Amino acid sequence: MENTTKSKNTVGGSKDFARKARELIAMMTREEKVSQLMNATPGIPRLGIPPYDYWNEALHGVARSGVATVFPEPIGLAACFNPSLIEKMADAIATEGRAKYAIARRNGNYARFTGLTYWSPNVNIFRDPRWGRGMETYGEDPFLSGVMGTAFVRGLQGDDPTYLKAAATAKHFAVHSGPEATRHEADVHPSRHDLWETYLPAFRMLVRDGHVEAVMSAYNRLYGESCSASRLLLTDILRKEWGFKGHITSDDGAIADITSGHHLADSEAEGDAIALHAGANLECGNAYRHLGEAIAKGYVKESDIDEALFYPLLTRLKLGILLPDDDCPYNNIPQSEICSDDHQRLAVETARESMVLLKNDGALPLDKNIHTLYVTGPGASDAFWMMGNYYGIGRHYTTYLQGIASKVSAGTALNFRPGVMESAPTTNTINYALDEAAMADAVIVVMGNCGNLEGEEGEAIDSVSSGDRLTLTLPDSQMDYLRDICGRKRGKVIVVLTGGGPIDMREISELADAVVMAWYPGQEGGQALADLLFGDADFSGRLPVTFPTDVDKLPSFDDYSMMGRTYKYMTDNIFYPFGYGLSYGRVVYRGATAVRKGDDVVVEVELKNEGEATVNETVQVYVSVPGAGSTAPLSQLVAFEREAVQSGESKRVWIDVPIDRFMTVQDDGSSVLLAGKYVVSVGGAAPSRRSEELGVSMAHAELTIWN
């Protein structure tokens, strides 16, 4: 009988990959071992090992490597509040990645961006809306970030008991969320409470629940240690406490930063040794080339290199790519899967669910037979405005203009002009765009941010803060144009906002009749937007980040304390709250109850749709804990669930919440389940005074927990 016992040395399969990795290491020379510890590894022909570059990206589609389906930027994916959809999307990404990998290898291409180790997802917390890379994250809430990131990891890595479909990487570990300009030398000192309550939970979920294959360390220091050489993070927490079994890689150049940026070592050889001893297995960069010198000077032993190399080799064996492996079930995914029709439809679905309706004074949905419609704005016809960062190149793009044009009647008078530049003032004193807008029954203005205005260090060409934003207000050119349009309008003005984070909404909301936050929706953003604007689909997206009223009232950008930040700690300065979003229906919450049953709390609530359209409602459950002291959050998200509610329908919904989500992080970082009276709030946004002002429906229940 065949032996079906599964080895604990693998991801669950019967192959002893660990033994094979050790055997290969034993056959390598010291120089060969060192060469395999940097992202671009040469081949070792005598051992049958081909060249390989670990550096690849798949944040919202396979990036930087030929054509691939481009999905919404992660901040938009988070707005879906739909982990099953994100898992499905990530599976599609891995499918395309496998097909592309096979083609590259047949062509003898071993270059960067052709491998299967994807440096995604980014589960850093979007703690400050000025951060240029906040678009890469799943928002400001650790629980939402962990749930969505875990779904991405599961979809990308697949469910085979032996092999990985692709390898996901949780980044950037840890406490990294801007400013971009100082990331190579910054030393951050959050409280232990904030570390464990805000900055680490999403990573923990990806390791323990998602079994993520890799973790990428951050550039910055934490408590004086480089995160790429932090025993606390890489050894004590990641390996020992969480039981992480995959490999740890540095961010690009972060090992060199130990010496040149943080000045923690006198030489690169010494910096390499510090990182290696702390647990950094793989370097993105080439500083580890000095490890031979580090051995010669006694900083490290060759056995230390053997131990570090074990984990990256194990990952490649699990992928079935270190050596020829005919048993890997992902070897023969055909090229036809790349940009397939199913993936295009999935791109439309994710983009549609990501968009958030922030305001609607009766302007939406639009009539397809509208007599005159004017589309304008710098982002209306520009595919770059839909991409975000870390993007691939789609086989085709449906711009906002194209999507809208495909919906309206052939008898509609539809006109378009950009009307204004993204950030430069208008010099044309005539500007026909304003006159044309004034004559239309409705005007759709596509404005906001794009990759020229925000992004990672060095990306945003118009940014004065290395990709971050110093203000949330849009450029004067755009705001002046909107003011001119609204000053002359005859019909309704619908503003469609693009961007990777919050925008100053005070004047925009006042001027416009309807406002849609479209984020960076990917290649099918135009089709998704048109479906929503014309009522062929309903808005279901919800904000994964708080839109503050005034950026000047936020704490200092370089202050990593959470007090006064995010819905969990903001008592005022909220324009649109976390979890907020409108639809074409209206769901009212009534009669909430919360009952503990063993290790779960069962939350029950009645939903009634008092509107005229079916709603895909995101039911959100928040908890406020008793007597936890000044550092406790005002409320915290502990569960969410999407529910379809027909027009006029009333339905009861039950949500099981594990009791450990009611635990409170103490000042020393430990978590306890406090005895006392909890308030459980169920509704359409985070509980706050601003939510009440906006008419968000919410039901509350009390729950007493005894130790």
Instruction: Please identify every residue annotated as catalytic.
Output: 251
Alpha helices in 559-645 (DSSP H): 566-569
The H-or-E segment that residue 254 falls in is helix 254-260
Q: Among residues 437, 530, 554, which one has the least CA distance to residue 130? A: 554
By three-state DSSP, how is residue 227 classified?
A: helix
Tokens of 115: 């491998």
- For residue 132, the 8-state DSSP code is G
What is the distance between the alpha carbons of residues 171 and 125, in angstroms, rounded to a whole number? 11
Return the HEC string of 150-203: HHHHHHHHCCCCCCCCCECEEEEECCCCCCHHHCCCCEECCCHHHHHHHHCHHH
- Strands laid side by side in the 413-417 sheet: 356-360, 514-519, 492-498, 442-448, 372-376, 413-417
What is the distance between the alpha carbons of residues 351 and 340, in angstroms, rounded to a whole number? 17
Q: What's the maximum distance between 2 C-alpha atoms anywhere in the chain?
A: 85
What is the distance between the alpha carbons of residues 632 and 119, in angstroms, rounded to a whole number? 33
By three-state DSSP, how is residue 103 classified?
A: helix
Tokens of 493: 């003005």
What is the distance between the alpha carbons of residues 167 and 91, in angstroms, rounded to a whole number? 12
**Do the bridges between strand 676-683 and strand 650-658 make them parallel or antiparallel, or are there none, so unpaired?**
unpaired
Q: Among residues 501, 517, 521, which one has the least CA distance to residue 509? A: 517
Question: Counting every residue, how long is the chain?
Answer: 707
- For residue 426, the 8-state DSSP code is P
What is the distance between the alpha carbons of residues 230 and 255, in angstroms, rounded to a whole number? 11
The angle at the Cα of 538, spanning 533 to 543, to the nearest 5 degrees, equals: 95
Long-range CB pairs of 146-149, under 8 A, 24+ apart, other chains included? 146/201, 146/202, 146/204, 146/205, 146/206, 146/209, 147/83, 147/205, 148/74, 148/77, 148/78, 148/83, 148/86, 148/121, 149/121, 149/123, 149/202, 149/205, 149/206, 149/210
What is the distance between the alpha carbons of residues 345 and 348, in angstroms, rounded to a whole number? 5
